[in-house]
Every structure is written in structure tokens, then in C-alpha cells.
Structure 1
Amino acid sequence: MAEAHQAVAFQFTVTPDGIDFHLSREALKNIYLSGITSWRKRLIRYKNGVLTGVYPASPSSWLIVVIAIMSTMYARIDPSMGMIDCIKKTLPVNGYLAVQTQTVLSAMLFATGLWVSLILVLRYILKMLLSYHGWMFEPHGRISRTTKIWATLVKMFSGRRPLLYSFQASLPRLPVPGVDDTIKRVSCGLNHTLVVSSDGMTVWAFGDGDYGKLGTGSCTVKCYPQDLLYVTPTHRQAARAGNAVHAMLIYRRKLDREEHSPMRALGIVPMCSYQMERMFNTTRIPGIETDFIQHLKDSKHMVVYHKGRFYKVWLHHGGRHLQPCELEMQFQKILDDKTEPQPGELKLAALTAGERIPWARARVKFFSQGINKVSLDAIEKAAIFMTLDEEEQGYDKEKLRSIDSYAKSLLHGKCYNRWFDKSFNLIAYKNGKLGINAEHSWADAPIVGHMWEFVLSTDHFQLGYTEEGHCKGDMNKMLSPPSKLKWDIPQECQDITESSYKMAKVIADDVDFHGCLFDDFGKGLIKKCRTSPDAFIQIALQLAHFRDKGEFCLTYEASMTRLFREGRTETVRSCTIESTAFVHAMENPDKTCNSNW
């Protein structure tokens, strides 16, 4: 009970002698610190907005321009060519200010306008420079003079110490190719796989659908960043989860403060950071016609799933993040809880794994009011969703060095122990292994991958564990315990849940995955042959498929377009005239490695 009272700032009781107030000093302190933290975040966001708004210049450069203009004025030189006098004549305060004050104010206004114009010119020049992509098509190790000059100019106009979103206004828009060029490229890509009609003509059909909407199909099978294969820092499930969640909170704080450096190709060309905005506090909401993304600026709790039960865990206390050891304590309480799931709770998350329309209708009918709405809000507005899994997973040396089971668990789990609508699910396995199940609509896989690399490195190199495998640090044992979410799921909703589960299970069972480690050689050897590792893998896939099936098929590789503003991915058709010619040559016994085919 003492822990529960920490959340109450004051209580009052009406007695015959009057009203009796009881104040909780600790709770009031937490409220005060929480308010300070909230205002600090607002100030940081405002400051970052100013810094990003004037980039590649800086606010201090405004003062330099003003001083320069004022200096020329005192030297009786008019750099504005009469514009300062025009501004002075149009000022509405002519009758209230001295002539010298009006001159100074006019000069400052002119300097501000000049400063803004210089920022726009710098951004335009940088955008033009970033529109050059000839560097991508040059051979490895042979950089042209043009590209060298371009790289120097990009560095010169990129400014210093950019924030995460500093380059957004300078990135070029993704160009749209012409229809004729598109048809020509599609034709080249399909020639190897199309069955031509009897009259030798190929029929083309172009859809007119709205491709800007989120689809309503199942979201079950996702991308799956894995844990370190050979290293498990601790086999304590709660401890590993505590360090991982704390590392994510550090990453989120740096994300909110825009302290992450923008990703740059070759260390020079900035990439769009737009997708990173919705990494945390984000949920995909089902709709009858289309889904939409719900993103909150901040969230101070997470939701944990364990053995069919959902728990809400606060991530802040006294204006600070919970320490790893405090998170471990909270997660251990969940693991030690022996209560059974409520009726309909065990497979409730299967609603997010099946078809979207039944889930959207069930959400409106059964989760729009009462305790179901409160509990669903807790999940959808959570910063992080985590599953404390009952299984043990990881790299299996005994089964042909396999990661089959591990990968399938991360891809879809049991179809009811992941909340597939969340931007990502953190999965902590019983043996201390970790993994992520990521939803794709809000961002592409590399965005989650950047965060995951940060989490693993922070866990291993910064946070660490005690000799017993627990999280380091001193904990506040008076924290409020995790609160179990309450549900009132009627039988009709349970039937819909079961139907969604069966549909998702069919999809999951249809996933045939086999992954093993290949260490005979790696990208180092491929690069020595002056070949792109990516191109090597793509051509190997073409050869392997042809040897297995005796024919070619439509093949695409995801291509990142983050060099453009708000770019996501496009498809590269790797089944080309050149790749098929290579495969035929490899299968032709009359060809040799020296043949000029």
C-alpha cells in the first residue's frame, strides 16, 4: 500500500471537525520535477526549431550581418543602395522615435532581410549540389575531377554541427520519370519472364488506384532485427530487458533533442531523417477504408505482455528515466506474477494480426468506451511495447548453425503475443536473447536498424551487468508496481479474435524460413574483385533460382531513396538482360571464364 500511495499528491477527508488534508511531499516533488522536465523539453524543441530553421547558417550569423551593416553605416557607406532610407520612411513610428534610432532600426531590418536572403541562397545552392548523383555511377577507386570538386562544395555549404533535421529543407524532391521512359524500363525488366501472346504483342495495363493509403491486409510478418549471435551478456530475462529499454529511452531522448547526427552517404551526402520522427509513441490504427498512423509527441509509459497478460509500466520517476536496475525490478515483478489472463485476454493481440477491417469494426464496437478503451489507449499510446517471451531462442550451433526458429519467432511469434500495430515490438526471451518485430508503414527497416545498433552497443559497452547478471546501479524500491490492464471482452469479440488468429496462423505457417551462417568469405574478398557486395549477392540469387527452377522470375531489390526529401524505397529489378546473360553463360559448358560473352 505504501507504494500505491506514492502516486497520490494529496487527500482530504470530511470529518465533523472540518476537512482534514494530507499532503504527500514525495508526490508533489515528482509533479514539480515532471513539470520542469516538460518545460525543458519545450524549450529544447523551440531552440532546435530555430537552429534548423536557419541552417546552414546559425543565429549568431545574424548578429554578424547586423554589426557589418551598422559598421558600414557609421563609415558613411550605404550597402543597401537606398533601401535603408526607404525602410525608414515607411516605418509607422516616425513620430515617436529619434532620427538616429529610426536609422538604426531600419538598418537592423535590412540586415535581417539580407540574412534571410543569404540563408535561402545557401539552401538553394546546397539543394542543387545534392541533386547531382553522378558519384554513384563511378567505378570504385576512380573518382573523377568533377566529383571531387562537387564533394568539396558539398562540405563547404553543409555548415557545421548539423542537427538531425537540419538538412530537410535542402534535400531535393524525388523526381518522377516520364511515362515513355517508365514503359521502356518496365519492358526491359519483363522481357525475360513474360509469356508473349500468339500475335507477338504484349498487353500493358496501368492501375489508377490511390497508392497513398495504408492497405487493409494482414500486418503479421515483419522485419526482424536480431540480437548478437555469439554473445549473450546475461541470461537473466528481466535484466537484459531492463538495459535494452533504458538504452531505448536514451535513444529517444537524443531523438527528441535532435542530437543524433544525420546519416550521410560516403560521410558527405545527407539522407532524409523524416522517418525517424515516429519511431516511438507510434501506433497504426485500423480503419474500414484505410489505416492511419497515430503518433504522440511524448509518452511516459510502456506496455509489457507476458503469458497472456498486459501490464502498464511507468518509465519516469521524479523527472528522470527509470534506471536499468529499476526497470529490471519492474519486469521481474511481472515475471513473478502468477495470475491468470482474463477471459479473452490471452489471444487479444491476434486482432492486430488478422485482416484489418474486422479489427477496425471490433475496435469501434468493443473498445470505444469503458475499461476496454482505457486499456487499449494504454497500449496504443505507449512509448514501447515489449513481450517477455516464454521461449528460449537464439543461434543454434547444433542444427546446422541455424537461426530458423529464432527468425520465425521474431517475424510473427505465436500470432497473438505481439501487438503488430505498434511501430515496433521489443521481444525479450527467457534465456536473455533479444529481438525486434517492426511494423513497416511508418518507416523502412534501416531506420529501426540504426536504433537497434545503438541499443546493442549501449547495452554492451556502457550499461553492462554485475557478476550475477543483474543490471548495475541503485534502485528506488518505493516505485509503484506495474499495473495490470483490465478487460471486459464479450464472447462475440472473442470469436472475432479467434478468427483473426486462425487467419494469421495460416500466413505464419506458410512462411518457410531457413537461415544459416556463411563464413567461407565475406564482403572483403568481393571488394578485392572490384565488385559491389550487393551486386554479387543479387547475381548469385539469379543463378541459384535458375539452377533450382530452370527459369527466371520477376525479382526486385529494395532501393533506398533517402537521398531525397521524405524518400522511402523504390524497387530495383535485378533480373536484367545482363544478369540473365551471365546465368546462361555460367550454365553453358562451352563457355569459359575468359569468354567474351
Structure 2
Amino acid sequence: MLHLESPYCDTKMYGRAIASTNKILRPKLFNLTRAETSILPSFLNARNVSQNLPRLPVPALKQTLDKFLLTAKPHLSDKEFASTTELIKKFSDENGIGAKLQKYLVEKAKSTENWLSEWWLHSAYLDFRYPVIIHSSPALVYPIENFKTEHERLVYSARLILAVMEYKLLIDNDKIPTDMMGKDPLDMNQYKQVIGTCRIPGLKRDKLEYYPTSKHVVVMHNNHFFKVHLFGDNNQLISENQLLQQLHDIMEQSVATAPPIGILTSDSRDNWGKAYQQLIKDPENEASAKEIQKSLFLVCLDGPMSPLPNENRKTIAGRQLLHGGGSKQNGGNRWYDKTIQFIIGQDGLVGLNYEHSPSEGQPVAVISDYIYESIKKESGKGKPDVPYNKIPERLPFNVNDEIQKAILVASKNVDEQADGLDLFCLHFDSFGKDFIKSQKLSPDSFIQIALQYAFYRVHKTPGAHYESAATRKYAHGRTETIRSCSIESIDFAKTMLDNTKSNADKVTALRKAIDGHKKYTVEAMNGFGVDRHLLGLKLAAMELGEKIPEIYSDPGYVRSAHMRISTSQVATKCDGFMCFGPLVPDGYACCYNPRPKDINFGISAFTAHPDTSAVKFKDALVNSLNDMHDILAKTQKSKM
């Protein structure tokens, strides 16, 4: 049994569906008939449900609304709060619309294994029409390598591919340990879905296709695609030496750069959906696209990345894995619809980019730790060859005028996306989770309150704050939002910035803020947060043809759901970290990996907004963490 050190350490779910209410990202959640939304996607039907986990609960309406008011209060004046309170009272009246929508959810929960899962897959992902890069797909940066030769890089690549396949065989044979949250087993289906799944673009809604029995990967180099068979004539995995020969062959066949077909996958889903329809009109193109979609995963062999001024290597790696530096660097050597694409740069920048629809970050992180250890131990070295007579198959694409125009549009757009992301990847080495635990505090809650403090010291206003909590103790569970901005977190920030307060006052405020966050975290992991229930009530209104209730346009909801700080803990044992883009134009994203003696952070903002800066937020975060360490250390010393 694997007991996750931090059961809520999954990647950020972004709260796309929630944020749609205040029209930050898009004007409409989706526009479907009730009949259309009642069809369970084939992807969900394919899941393994043998664990017999409990169903996701529907919280009591009053419980959710009371909690919502507490989370909205920091963002409202006294007059506004009174108005929001009155509106909530009206909504929750036993004869009001809230009661009707709540009844609908309760009935839905009785007839489905998870009342939210289908809605969530659609509203948070498959209906989302922004580009997946930056806005949805995270990057996981692995420890940076030092490839002295091209051969060394290809050896690393071969070992990575075989390590992934070894883990997949463990998954397929149900030999991986079950993740646990305390005594509760967690849903393991996401492990089965990260390898072999692909997102397929649509004109209004995308879909997912799952190929668990596929036996090939696709390797990209200089924008060329190659299908590589991984199993020999006797259905055994090929050896490291045999795979290495395939990779050398690919490099020899792809010296010249091909048209960047893959860059189309980086564009908005509407643009890509239209281009895809044009692309597959050509039978050869359709066949090549299908082989990419059916592959287990992608391996992108990239050229070096050009650094920006004063940029550390971790930050260069973050840009490389998030967007490839745009069309002028490695941005075309991708197929962003594939759930996992491993990226192996000539300059030693390695890791992965993953399409978020099928899975949270923790299964991806667990697989990554397995890969890293396997490569380090050279576990595949020396294994004998198997009967095998395959060669890499080039997957050709024919580019007509329409596709060329789409490539030019996508290239312009990906460059704007890449140039518009302000990224800073921080290795914080003053202390790690060992110190925090020595103070009998939750490392995750400590870091979350540090992020709150950092935002307040920069902006002097409360920042609505998203952290994802795993709800995998339930069948098909995904996430719930931890609303980290609280009355207690703002009180702590104000106390820290008040020179008249003693260290004891500051420590008291810190512990209250951490306790409040920890309490909300436990409730969220058990399915009793605010945001998923409110989303369900809104979607119920849409399915029933009801007017969207007024609470969703009230300042209390709009401001508390405008997540200016979007965060997640994704824990890896290796020296890695995840990064992604902000949820809102005037916000920050921050993913972190707390290790015993240090913490890795991936911090981002958008360059277009004058109020945000990744470097300024990084500086404030470093100062906040050190301030919190110092008041604890000083208070502890004074008691000795």
C-alpha cells in the first residue's frame, strides 16, 4: 500500500468551470440540451470500477452556503457582505430555487456512480476552447541532465521509454500499490488512463480516446513523426539496444526540419478543431494522425532552448516543457493532445507535458519517480535482444494551402502565448518540510499561508486562492477546491505587516491560519468543499432550463471565484517540480514540491497585466517563508 505523504498533492484543476461564471475565460460554460449532457462518455464507461469505492456525496445546501459566506467575506465590504448574506438566505429558502436544484443533485447522485464526473470532464476540459498549452496542460520538470554527446541523450531516451513501459505493465497487471489517504483506498483509474489516451479536437466539444492495448510510441524530431514498435515477434518488450538503434535511425532520417504540423495542436481548440477537419480530408494525413492518437505516449527529441536574460536553468526548462519556446524553437515538435509527451532536450532539459483531461498530477508524478529511479539504476541495461524485425515508420503529412495558413496562424498565436508568460522557477533552499514538521505544522498548509502572505504584501488586498484537493477516495473522484484565502489568512498577513505586533502575536495568528486551512483541506478531500457543489447547482439549473440564480453574479461569488492565486502541490521524490499558467489575467500560478530540506516552486504570471510579476511574487514569497521561519524559531528559542 502506498500512503501518499500529501493526499491533496495533485495538480491544479484550474477551476475552469467555476471561473466561467464571472466571464473571465469565456462567456458560456456550455450550451447543450439535457439529452446531450445525460450521455455518459465512452471514456468514463471504460474505467475500471472494481474497487467498489463509495459515491461522491452531495453536501447539505445549508452547509455549503454557510461555508461559502465565510470564504466570500474577505472580498466584501460590510454592506456588500450583508447583501450577499440576504441573497443566500433567499436562495436557500425551502421553497426557493436552491432547494429545487439541490433535490435534482440528490436524485442524480442516486442514479450515477459520481454525480459530478461527467459534468466535470466536459465543463473543465472538453468544452474549454482556450489552447491547452499554459492554460490547461502542466509541465513536469525532471532533474536537469548533462548530455555530453547525442548518443548519451538517445541512451537516456531509450531507458525512459522502457521504464514507462515497465510501469505500464505493472499497471496492466494490477501490480502497483493502491494509493491510500489514511485508511481509505483511493481510486486508481487515473493510472490506467495516463498512458494510451489522446484528446481529439472537435468543433464545439473535444473527446477522449483510449488505447490501452497499443504497442507503439511516436517519436518526434525536427517536427517529423515516427512510429516505433516496442514489442518483438514473441510479444516481449524489445531491449535497450534494439530501441537505441531505432532512435539513431530516426535521427538520421530527420536531419532536415519538416513543416510544423504539431504546432496546430497548440492553438485554440476552435482553430485546431477546424484545421483538424481539413487535415484529415487527406487519407494519408488521417492515417498518420490516427497512429499518433493511438500511441501510448510521445517522445519529443528537442533542440536546445535559447535563454532569456538573467534566466536560471530551471526556468528555461519550465519554458521548454510548457510551450517549447514557441514556433522559432521547439514549439512545433509537439502533439499537445497526447496525454503524456516526454520532452528530452539536446541541452539536458528533460521532463514532460501532459494533457490534463484524464488525470490529476499525482499519478503522473508517481510514474515520473519510477522512471527517474529506473534510469538512474540503468535497470534495462544488458537485457538480451528479442526476435524483432521492425524499423521506425515515418508518419507523413501532406500540407496544402489551407493547412499552411492554419500553421501560420497557430505559429503566431503560440509565439504570443509563449512571449506572454512570465515564468520563474525557484529552488528555495533555506529550509524544507522537515523544519515545518518540527513545529508540528502541516507543510502544505504552511506553504499555502505563505502564498497568501506573499500576495497580500505585494498587492495589499486579499487574493482569492485556489488549491486542488484530491477526492479520489470516491469512485471516479477528481478534485475539490481548497479556498485558501480566509478570514484567518488575511488576519495573519496583516499581523505580520504590523510592527506593533509581537512575535508571539504573529505565531498565534500563523497557527490559526494554518489550522483553518487544514480544516478546510480535510473537508474538501471528503467532498465537502464549496466550489464543486455550487458548480453542480448551476449546471442543474442549466439542465432544467432554469434561469441561472442571482448568486452566481453576486460580488461575493464573482470575487471569491476569481482565483488570483492558483496553486497545487505535486510531490516528487526526485528534484523535480511542476509549472503551469495562471487561471485569470491578473493572477499567479504556483506549483510546488516540498522536499525534506528544500522546496521547488514554479511561479508564473502574464506579462500583459501591469499588476503582476513572477519575479516580484517570487521575492515576496521568499521573504514570507523566511519571516514565518524566523518568528517560529525566535518564539521557540524564547521558551527555552
Structure 1 residues 519-575: Cα deviation after superposition (integer angstroms, max 9, x where no partner)? 111111100100000011011111111111111111111111111111111110111
- The structural deviation recorded for 1:491 is 0.9
Whether 1:276 aligns to 2:158 is no
Secondary structure of the corresponding residue to residue 463 of structure 1: coil
> How far apart, in 1, do the equivalents of 2:65 and 2:227 lie?
53
Secondary structure of the corresponding residue to residue 504 of structure 2: coil
Secondary structure of the corresponding residue to residue 74 of structure 2: coil
Q: Is the 8 A contact 2:179 2:185 kept in 1?
A: yes
The Cα RMSD (Å) is 3.1
Q: In structure 2, what residue type is equivalent to 1:411?
A: L
> How far apart, in 1, do the equivalents of 2:464 and 2:403 lie?
41
> Counterpart in 2 of 1:263?
179
> How far apart, in 2, do the equivalents of 1:445 and 1:276 lie?
10
> How far apart, in 1, do the equivalents of 2:500 and 2:139 lie?
43
> Counterpart in 2 of 1:412?
323
Whether 1:225 aligns to 2:126 is no
> Counterpart in 2 of 1:188?
70
- Provide TM-score, normalisation by structure 2: 0.61
- The structural deviation recorded for 1:167 is 8.4
Secondary structure of the corresponding residue to residue 272 of structure 2: helix
> Counterpart in 1 of 2:472?
562
> Counterpart in 2 of 1:325?
241
Distance 1:232 1:430, change over 3 A: closer
Q: Mean Cα displacement is larger for which, 526-535 or 305-314?
A: 305-314
Q: In structure 2, what residue type is equivalent to 1:184?
A: D
Distance 1:211 1:297, change over 3 A: closer
Distance 1:432 1:553, change over 3 A: closer
Q: Is the 8 A contact 1:313 1:483 kept in 2?
A: yes
The higher relative CO (CA closer than 8 Å, separation ≥ 6) is in 2
> Counterpart in 2 of 1:337?
253
Distance 1:591 1:346, change over 3 A: same
> How far apart, in 2, do the equivalents of 1:400 and 1:292 lie?
38
Within a 5 Å distance, the mapping from 1:500-515 to structure 2 comes to 500-515=410-425
Distance 1:440 1:527, change over 3 A: same
> How far apart, in 2, do the equivalents of 1:167 and 1:382 lie?
24
Q: In structure 2, what residue type is equivalent to 1:300?
A: K
- The structural deviation recorded for 1:231 is 7.9
Distance 1:446 1:309, change over 3 A: same
Distance 1:585 1:231, change over 3 A: farther
Q: In structure 1, what residue type is equivalent to 2:132?
A: C
Whether 1:594 aligns to 2:504 is yes
Whether 1:457 aligns to 2:373 is yes
> How far apart, in 1, do the equivalents of 2:301 and 2:356 lie?
22
Q: Mean Cα displacement is larger for which, 186-195 or 515-524?
A: 186-195
- The structural deviation recorded for 1:200 is 5.7
Q: 2:392 aligns with which of 463, 479, 482?
A: 482
Stretches of structure 1 that go unaligned for 5 or more consecutive residues are: 1-134, 137-164, 465-470
- The structural deviation recorded for 1:477 is 10
Rg: which structure is higher?
1
Q: Is the 8 A contact 1:402 1:514 kept in 2?
A: no
Q: In structure 1, what residue type is equivalent to 2:66?
A: K
Structure 1 residues 341-384: Cα deviation after superposition (integer angstroms, max 9, x where no partner)? 4xxx5221121111112222222233144111111111111112
Distance 1:353 1:210, change over 3 A: same
> Counterpart in 2 of 1:498?
408
> How far apart, in 2, do the equivalents of 1:359 and 1:218 lie?
9
Q: Is the 8 A contact 1:303 1:313 kept in 2?
A: yes
- Provide TM-score, normalisation by structure 1: 0.65
Structure 1 residues 368-419: Cα deviation after superposition (integer angstroms, max 9, x where no partner)? 441111111111111121101111699x9x9686511101111121332221
Q: Is the 8 A contact 1:233 1:460 kept in 2?
A: no
- The structural deviation recorded for 1:424 is 0.7
> Counterpart in 2 of 1:425?
341
Whether 1:535 aligns to 2:445 is yes
Q: In structure 2, what residue type is equivalent to 1:270?
A: P
Secondary structure of the corresponding residue to residue 327 of structure 1: helix
> Counterpart in 2 of 1:112?
none
- The structural deviation recorded for 1:252 is 1.1
Stretches of structure 2 that go unaligned for 5 or more consecutive residues are: 1-6, 9-46, 92-96, 102-117, 510-640
Structure 1 residues 78-131: Cα deviation after superposition (integer angstroms, max 9, x where no partner)? xxxxxxxxxxxxxxxxxxxxxxxxxxxxxxxxxxxxxxxxxxxxxxxxxxxxxx
Secondary structure of the corresponding residue to residue 480 of structure 1: coil
Within a 5 Å distance, the mapping from 1:436-447 to structure 2 comes to 436-447=352-363
> Counterpart in 2 of 1:54?
none
Distance 1:368 1:262, change over 3 A: farther
Q: Is the 8 A contact 1:559 1:571 kept in 2?
A: yes
> How far apart, in 2, do the equivalents of 1:584 and 1:478 lie?
67
> Counterpart in 1 of 2:262?
349
Distance 1:479 1:490, change over 3 A: same
Report the count of equivalent residues: 423
Distance 1:260 1:174, change over 3 A: same
- The structural deviation recorded for 1:508 is 2.2
Secondary structure of the corresponding residue to residue 539 of structure 1: helix
Q: In structure 2, what residue type is equivalent to 1:292?
A: K
Secondary structure of the corresponding residue to residue 75 of structure 2: coil
Q: Is the 8 A contact 2:147 2:346 kept in 1?
A: no
Q: In structure 1, what residue type is equivalent to 2:222?
A: K
Structure 1 residues 56-77: Cα deviation after superposition (integer angstroms, max 9, x where no partner)? xxxxxxxxxxxxxxxxxxxxxx
Distance 1:233 1:577, change over 3 A: farther
> How far apart, in 2, do the equivalents of 1:353 and 1:570 lie?
27
> How far apart, in 2, do the equivalents of 1:506 and 1:579 lie?
36
Distance 1:527 1:339, change over 3 A: closer
> Counterpart in 2 of 1:201?
83
Secondary structure of the corresponding residue to residue 248 of structure 1: helix
> Counterpart in 1 of 2:586?
none
Q: In structure 2, what residue type is equivalent to 1:356?
A: R
Q: In structure 2, what residue type is equivalent to 1:284?
A: R
> How far apart, in 1, do the equivalents of 2:383 and 2:169 lie?
20
> Counterpart in 2 of 1:252?
168
Q: 2:212 aligns with which of 280, 288, 297?
A: 297
- The structural deviation recorded for 1:337 is 2.6
> How far apart, in 1, do the equivalents of 2:184 and 2:63 lie?
27
Secondary structure of the corresponding residue to residue 448 of structure 2: helix
Q: In structure 1, what residue type is equivalent to 2:267?
A: G
- The structural deviation recorded for 1:210 is 5.7
> How far apart, in 1, do the equivalents of 2:164 and 2:292 lie?
17
Whether 1:375 aligns to 2:375 is no
> How far apart, in 1, do the equivalents of 2:491 and 2:275 lie?
53
